[in-house]
Structure 1
Amino acid sequence: MSEQSFSPSSPHSPPQDPPAPVVNANAAIVLGKRYLRKGPDGLPIEDATGLFWRVARAIAAIEATYDEKHDVEATARQFYELMTSYRFLPNSPTLMNAGTPLGQLAACFVLPVGDSMEEIFDAVKFAALIHKSGGGTGFSFSRLRAKHSRVGSTGGVASGPVSFMRIFNTATEQVKQGGTRRGANMGILRVDHPDIKEFITCKERESALDNFNISVGLTEKFMQAVDEGRDYDLIDPRDGTSAGTQNARELFDLLVRKAWESGDPGIVFLDRINRDNPTPAQGEIESTNPCGEQPLLPYEACNLGSINLALLYAPDSEDGLDWEELARVVRLSVRFLDNVIDASQYPLPVITEMVRKNRKIGLGIMGFADLLYRLEIPYDSPEALAMAGRIMGFVQTEARRASAELARERGPFPAYGQSVFAGKKEGPYRNATTTTIAPTGTLSIIAGCSSGIEPLFALSFSRNVMDGERLVETNPYFQAALERSGLAAPEVIAEVARKGSVAHMENIPESLRRVFVTAMDIDPLWHLRMQAAFQRHTDNAVSKTVNLPGTASLEDIAGIYRMAYELGCKGVTVYRDGCKSAQVLCTGEAGQEEAPKVATKVKTRPDVVYGFTQKVKTGLGELYLTVNEIDGKPFEVFATIGKSGRSVTAKAEAIGRLVSLALRSGVDVEDIVGQLKGIGGENPVFQKKGLLLSIPDAVSWVLENRYMQGQKIVDGNRSLTHPRCPDCGADLVFEEGCHICKSCGYTKCG
């Protein structure tokens, strides 16, 4: 397609009075909770139209700084139409903060952590300022001296990188991002750091460093040593000398085992990242943003945005995509993101300097799985890989053309002369990088499309809306396919909602089952192949999770890591279904371990515990429920009713024992209440506490009123292997390197 210049009078400009955007039910919840500006009473003072118009005008206003005669209003209308048509959305801080006094619009930052107390705590302070403004932070802790190293100024010994990570984690916990998001961090340690074993195991306890994603920075020397089964050198970060050796294969196996257990840590390939560093004269890239898709130099930030491919489906075109419209959207989106760089108020002057020196942007996509559904192409197929490569190659080419056009209009990025592009025929460019495949968890909810390049996690699911009411939501393209096939009966939809997938539903035609695959239907290697297909045409990196079934082995994960290296990925995150709820037990002599087995670790009962006993009237008599606590949380339950020897007494004792086992095994009280609440019995009884249906219902009532403080009860039939959303109680889904809630938009990574 020929290059076209930006024109405010484009035929795609919106009408004189911008129409109100169409907002779906999920989007309304997300916008209201996280994006709309609020008054002193906490209630929204703008609607969706006001939000998008606020953002469009703030970003378009930058045009006047380059051309005072520019029709800013016309550009604002183009930006408004771009967002409200949901063809493109910028990252969350831009939607939240553009046109507000805060004005911090970047999604991600990388901060250096130097090997002195002053530098470490400067990084803690700077991170707090960034989290307060709505951004996430990435750190490399590789420059910190190893644990037990001598500290010259005091004669003492160093505590090592992991101990300081705990300080960063605690600081993050205390800072609420922009009043709407909790801080998110990435911690990276080089594989040749002497403390690498402690780092790999630092998240063994699920509550440890819970504001951090962690990744090991792998090198090509290490991967070669793994292949050869030999030792490699550990490096003292103070002077670059050898600090001993470590067997590469043993460390690789430890890394694989911990990822199998919990999904942490991920891996990044540092040599590959730095081969693509567009400004190597400014130093090596050592870290990424929290989800790993944006490698950055110290003090750099990046402004991200995503194009919704699902809306560019064109059934009358040769291959089902409107390439001309995609080119238009790419060019306008690049202009939007370049303006964001100038519109943003960064938390530190040094960040402002670095960002404007390199002017990195990251344009990516969302809705890819939806597009494949519309094209009737299975995600796990060569056709899908080919489409991925063609689309992202096109986006990258058009984005660079747009950046070159901006460079002619406004000048190249200031560090262009020292970049890898200097002296080449291509360029000059306005932006050192233009493309990134970023997470789109909440953005895809607003746009009503699938997340990033991920397959759907479920074709249909039920969502709690209010007061226990449940709403079944079905992917619209799957719904349409069922209707075309005459299969859209309520009982079919209900079965899909229960299962999430149609892979094993024989009443669904094979042709539909083959196209409408979900994340857990897809072999893990196809996840990886898809990531690699997009990475080949992406300047920065790709946010993607390789989902594995709970039955996946250590060998499966080891194979994924090796294949990621061979395919040219810049990193990889794996997630084995249910792994967060399991501990690993190993048997056999040292060095002769059997395959790990999933088992629950039951806490040992202390000699002395304290609690309370509550009497509850049931239809079978007075129930005396004793609940013993540890640290204010329920630890065990004893249920007594009637005299010993009676059947009802035995049942009460059995309930108490099983509830105690669950509590001591780490099952949350909310899950127990969800399982017991509402179980019917032969003698329900009305009383001031309400209608109690049975002994288990009475137990749930005591636990709910004592510990849940008005929280909603989650579905008692749901899987207990998935963590819950702290906002709405729905299951969290792990995709794009982070836990997110499909019901309300909550994301663990900010």
Structure 2
Amino acid sequence: MGKATGLRITRLFTKPGEDPFDSVTWGTRDSRITNPDGSVVFEMKDAEVPTSWSQVAADIMVSKYLRKAGVPQFDESGEPIRDEEGRIVLGPERSARQVIKRLTSTWRWWGERSGYFASEADAHAFEDELSYMLVNQMAAPNSPQWFNTGLHHAYGLTGPAQGFWYVDPATGRAVPSPDSYSRPAPHACFIQSIEDDLVNEGGIMDLWVREARLFKFGAGTGTNFSRIRAENESLSGGGRSSGVMSFLRIGDRAAGAIKSGGTTRRAAKMVILDIDHPDIEEFINWKKGEEEKVRALIAAGYPSDFNGEAYQTVAGQNANNSVRVSNEFVRAVLDDTDWHLTARTTGRVMRTVPARRLWREIAEAAWACADPGVQFHTTINEWHTCPADGPIRASNPCSEYMFLDNTACNLASLNLGSFFDDDSGTFNIETYQHAIRLWTMVLDVSVTMAHFPSREIAQGSYDYRTLGLGYANLGSLLMRSGIAYDSDEGRAIAAALTALLTGVAYATSAEMASVLGPFPRFPENRTDMLRVIRNHRRAAYDSPQEEYEGVSHRVVGTDPLYCPGALLEAAQRAWDSALDLGEQYGYRNAQTTCLAPTGTIGLQMDCDTTGVEPDFALVKFKKLAGGGYFKIANQSIDPALRSLGYSAEERSEIVRYVVGTMALEGAPHVNRSALVSLGLTDGEVDAVERALPGVFELRYAFSPYVIGEDALARLGVGEAAWKQPAFDLLRYLGFTDEQIREAGDHICGRQTIEG
């Protein structure tokens, strides 16, 4: 079937000739990031951000995403600032407007030159719609896009080549990038291979160099190390291998020395080992043992802070660890049989251990230190779209991206809360689908414009064009709807939202294939990919188990009994379209979606919950623009109670029950008159009042740092006494524990709705 002429872009949020940046009110904000000891990490004054953004969102944009150097500076009239010799003065970006324009104009430019759009008007609509969504916190790409995209296109930044590669579309072959900036590095997630070789290309020491290149530009990488010989395996030149663990310690130290993106983000690294590797037991217990060393150091007086010397002294703190398990191993656990650990070079059995013992060690280690995770190899590969080119063996550090070695994925996430109307209690399916389609295009354009840290990854990313569109704020959406996160209704809605996301993304991928062609390796994997698409469609329809193709486990479909009909029908239509268009045109991308943790961009979008997680607290502390924190009720409580039918007065009382009055007036026992009668001055009580909105427990409003050392001395409290961590001025003044608790409940709240 012939190719279409280009993609049409409908405007839902913007109008031709109107600036999408005018959809918000702008203002200047100071951003100041400090360490717990008060030392300043970063500060910028008068940065421009929308006034609707929280201070946390502004801080993330200003401290992490504004380019700090090399940007032409302009005066208030928009004229470039020049030095004495007439050269344009360079400096930092100072506005979120600059960053968003840098991204959206670059995506449009690469899309236009690569033949994505049917017309210039469609390209313009593409840029405007994306700008609107970004400035209104409806969506966000992964951090490397913010760091890197558009620096050359918008500002002309350039720099020497640093070992990156891209694929020339005219030849389909990888070539070196001529410089650092003409092509950006927008990908966050990488899976890299490693060979059982010490110093040659593709080997152990080469991997640390490739990882460093990724960490520098803000990305994360995962590798399955199971090809590395185990301890005591024979070496070709004689002698015995020191084992995989000796090399993992080197990689851990290298990662710990690098700050991701040149900022305060830590390097993101995943280490994976197959369950049949002879060194698997040492790997399983690696972090557990290191944590025991930390506890001993802390007991000896070293600080317990994660960035302190105790944690810096031990190994294994700079990666997530995961064990790759197969169906065969799980069956051995269930049957309580032995499990063979086999040599990497010869396949001979080096040791045999009880499968249940290994499983128990995994569970106990994960309980003790949260690592290792478990990746189910067989199930993952049953949903693999490209098995003709090899199995999936690894993932990125957060495990949302699972695909072939030497491939990369760039992420973006939609803020589900922005598609939900609290007043009507409805979710806007049309705008959600519109956003999915546009952001699928953004991510594919990003593959086209990107360069990569190795020849192999450049080729793999071009050959498969994997994308990672996801969402955040699921927990808040359910809460605002009055639906329990852990409920059949909650699970069904989450399933339908995710099915709609992936269905529309694959339909868009097929639509792009009709214009630009499918990913290069689609013909070899067509049969398997369409099988996987059919299985996804069956899950949307909750089909009988016997209809699924090539799966060994029961598939949990979207439950029609608990899912809103309109949402479920939209998801089913999306999968009908994804399959129909894919059969006609193929797919532009081997994968389109994954659900990332959104730890940074979720906060930049002011999401109450990140990724797919539930909300973690009913009381939170909001950062204030002028410094300090203010205690607030979870912003989802009021709409949730409204959805459940509570009146405005009832909602107000419940919120006050949760967060407290944050004032001494009307409090039992501990109030202004009682405190003055016990010797505090009005000024000292005023200081306590000012501190109350920012404290979690009442005692902290009476700390020496609030009321002052002079007041303590006047009250007869010696320095040695008030410097004790357990010192409590309220107890010293004669209040009983019961009185303090009752006053605390009134002033600081119960922190929960239950009671």
Place the TM-score, normalised by the shorter chain, in its bin.
0.5 to 0.7
In structure 1, C-alpha distance between the alignment counterparts of 2:661 and 2:251, rounded to whole Å: 41
In structure 1, C-alpha distance between the alignment counterparts of 2:493 and 2:630, rounded to whole Å: 34
Match of 2:630?
A: 471
Q: Structure 1, unaligned stretches of length 5 or more?
A: 500-672, 701-716, 718-750
Match of 2:492?
A: 386
Write out per-residue CA displacement over residues 503-543 of structure 1, whole angstroms, 9 at most, x where no aligned residue.
Answer: xxxxxxxxxxxxxxxxxxxxxxxxxxxxxxxxxxxxxxxxx
Return the match for 1:111 from 189, 192, 202.
Answer: 192
Return the match for 1:458 from 593, 617, 633.
Answer: 617
Q: 1:163 to 1:12 in 2, by over 3 A?
A: same
2:392 paired with 1:311: no
Q: 1:123 to 1:674 in 2, by over 3 A?
A: farther
In structure 2, C-alpha distance between the alignment counterparts of 1:163 and 1:494, rounded to whole Å: 55
TM-score, length-scaled by structure 1: 0.64
Match of 1:249?
A: 356
Write out per-residue CA displacement over residues 217-267 of structure 1, whole angstroms, 9 at most, x where no aligned residue.
Answer: 111111000001110111212132322211001111111111111111111
Return the match for 1:374 from 477, 480, 484.
Answer: 480
Q: Residues 535-550 of structure 1 correspond to what in structure 2 (within 5 A)?
A: none
How far residue 443 of structure 1 moved from its aligned partner, in angstroms, is: 1.3
Letter in 2 for 1:170: R
Write out per-residue CA displacement over residues 398-452 of structure 1, whole angstroms, 9 at most, x where no aligned residue.
Answer: 1111111000011100111111447956440000011111111111111112211
Q: Residues 473-512 of structure 1 correspond to what in structure 2 (within 5 A)?
A: 473-480=632-639, 484-487=647-650, 492-493=655-656, 495-496=658-659
Match of 2:133?
A: 82
How far residue 476 of structure 1 moved from its aligned partner, in angstroms, is: 2.2
Q: 1:202 to 1:493 in 2, by over 3 A?
A: farther
Q: 1:161 to 1:35 in 2, by over 3 A?
A: same
In structure 2, C-alpha distance between the alignment counterparts of 1:698 and 1:352, rounded to whole Å: 59
Q: 1:262 to 1:679 in 2, by over 3 A?
A: farther
Report if aligned partners of 2:385, 2:528 keep a CA contact under 8 Å in 1: no
In structure 2, C-alpha distance between the alignment counterparts of 1:699 and 1:9, rounded to whole Å: 65
How far residue 16 of structure 1 moved from its aligned partner, in angstroms, is: 2.4
How far residue 321 of structure 1 moved from its aligned partner, in angstroms, is: 2.0
2:435 paired with 1:329: yes
Letter in 1 for 2:145: T
Q: 1:241 to 1:307 in 2, by over 3 A?
A: same
In structure 2, C-alpha distance between the alignment counterparts of 1:337 and 1:402, rounded to whole Å: 11
Q: Residues 521-536 of structure 1 correspond to what in structure 2 (within 5 A)?
A: none
Return the match for 1:364 from 466, 470, 479.
Answer: 470
2:320 paired with 1:225: no
Letter in 1 for 2:235: V
Q: 1:46 to 1:693 in 2, by over 3 A?
A: farther
Q: Residues 414-433 of structure 1 correspond to what in structure 2 (within 5 A)?
A: 414-421=520-527, 426-427=582-583, 428-433=586-591
2:220 paired with 1:57: no
In structure 1, C-alpha distance between the alignment counterparts of 2:631 and 2:136, rounded to whole Å: 25
In structure 2, C-alpha distance between the alignment counterparts of 1:468 and 1:490, rounded to whole Å: 29
In structure 2, C-alpha distance between the alignment counterparts of 1:339 and 1:248, rounded to whole Å: 46
Q: 1:197 to 1:9 in 2, by over 3 A?
A: closer
In structure 2, C-alpha distance between the alignment counterparts of 1:35 and 1:674, rounded to whole Å: 36
Letter in 1 for 2:462: R
Write out per-residue CA displacement over residues 295-347 of structure 1, whole angstroms, 9 at most, x where no aligned residue.
Answer: 13221100111122112225798x83222222111111111111111122222
Letter in 2 for 1:486: E
SS in 1 for 2:463: helix
TM-score, length-scaled by structure 2: 0.64
In structure 2, C-alpha distance between the alignment counterparts of 1:495 and 1:335, rounded to whole Å: 44
Match of 1:511?
A: none
In structure 2, C-alpha distance between the alignment counterparts of 1:257 and 1:109, rounded to whole Å: 29
Match of 2:61?
A: 31
Q: 1:682 to 1:36 in 2, by over 3 A?
A: closer
In structure 1, C-alpha distance between the alignment counterparts of 2:528 and 2:113, rounded to whole Å: 26
Q: 1:70 to 1:489 in 2, by over 3 A?
A: closer
Q: 1:677 to 1:296 in 2, by over 3 A?
A: farther
Q: Residues 293-308 of structure 1 correspond to what in structure 2 (within 5 A)?
A: 293-308=400-415
Write out per-residue CA displacement over residues 547-581 of structure 1, whole angstroms, 9 at most, x where no aligned residue.
Answer: xxxxxxxxxxxxxxxxxxxxxxxxxxxxxxxxxxx
Match of 1:711?
A: none
Q: 1:696 to 1:7 in 2, by over 3 A?
A: farther
Letter in 2 for 1:360: T
In structure 1, C-alpha distance between the alignment counterparts of 2:721 and 2:451, rounded to whole Å: 56
Q: 1:466 to 1:409 in 2, by over 3 A?
A: closer
2:233 paired with 1:173: no
Return the match for 1:440 from 598, 615, 618.
Answer: 598
Pick which of 217-226 and 236-245 moved more: 236-245
Q: 1:8 to 1:214 in 2, by over 3 A?
A: same
Report if aligned partners of 1:306, 1:364 keep a CA contact under 8 Å in 2: yes
- The percentage of counterpart residues that share the same residue type is 31
Letter in 2 for 1:219: S
Match of 1:10?
A: 11
In structure 2, C-alpha distance between the alignment counterparts of 1:275 and 1:226, rounded to whole Å: 21
In structure 2, C-alpha distance between the alignment counterparts of 1:459 and 1:122, rounded to whole Å: 47
Match of 1:634?
A: none
Report if aligned partners of 1:151, 1:157 keep a CA contact under 8 Å in 2: yes
Q: 1:315 to 1:699 in 2, by over 3 A?
A: closer
SS in 2 for 1:29: helix
How far residue 203 of structure 1 moved from its aligned partner, in angstroms, is: 0.4
In structure 1, C-alpha distance between the alignment counterparts of 2:703 and 2:232, rounded to whole Å: 51
Return the match for 1:198 from 282, 300, 306.
Answer: 282
Q: 1:372 to 1:243 in 2, by over 3 A?
A: same
2:76 paired with 1:48: no
Letter in 2 for 1:415: R
Match of 1:576?
A: none
Q: Structure 2, unaligned stretches of length 5 or more?
A: 1-5, 25-49, 72-89, 153-180, 292-310, 531-579, 663-699, 726-739, 741-755
Q: 1:692 to 1:354 in 2, by over 3 A?
A: farther
Report if aligned partners of 1:461, 1:498 keep a CA contact under 8 Å in 2: no
How far residue 65 of structure 1 moved from its aligned partner, in angstroms, is: 2.2
In structure 2, C-alpha distance between the alignment counterparts of 1:342 and 1:467, rounded to whole Å: 42
In structure 2, C-alpha distance between the alignment counterparts of 1:686 and 1:120, rounded to whole Å: 63
Q: 1:128 to 1:479 in 2, by over 3 A?
A: same
SS in 1 for 2:358: helix
Report if aligned partners of 2:619, 2:658 keep a CA contact under 8 Å in 1: no
Report if aligned partners of 1:149, 1:157 keep a CA contact under 8 Å in 2: yes
In structure 2, C-alpha distance between the alignment counterparts of 1:396 and 1:491, rounded to whole Å: 38
SS in 1 for 2:380: helix
Q: 1:686 to 1:421 in 2, by over 3 A?
A: farther
Match of 1:145?
A: 229
How far residue 144 of structure 1 moved from its aligned partner, in angstroms, is: 0.7
Letter in 2 for 1:52: I
Q: Residues 648-667 of structure 1 correspond to what in structure 2 (within 5 A)?
A: none
Letter in 2 for 1:23: W
Structure with the higher fraction of residues in helix conformation: 2
How far residue 480 of structure 1 moved from its aligned partner, in angstroms, is: 4.4
In structure 2, C-alpha distance between the alignment counterparts of 1:264 and 1:677, rounded to whole Å: 40
In structure 1, C-alpha distance between the alignment counterparts of 2:191 and 2:130, rounded to whole Å: 29
In structure 1, C-alpha distance between the alignment counterparts of 2:447 and 2:482, rounded to whole Å: 39
In structure 2, C-alpha distance between the alignment counterparts of 1:179 and 1:423, rounded to whole Å: 39
Return the match for 1:320 from 409, 413, 426.
Answer: 426
SS in 2 for 1:27: helix
Letter in 1 for 2:433: A
In structure 2, C-alpha distance between the alignment counterparts of 1:417 and 1:435, rounded to whole Å: 21
Letter in 2 for 1:349: R
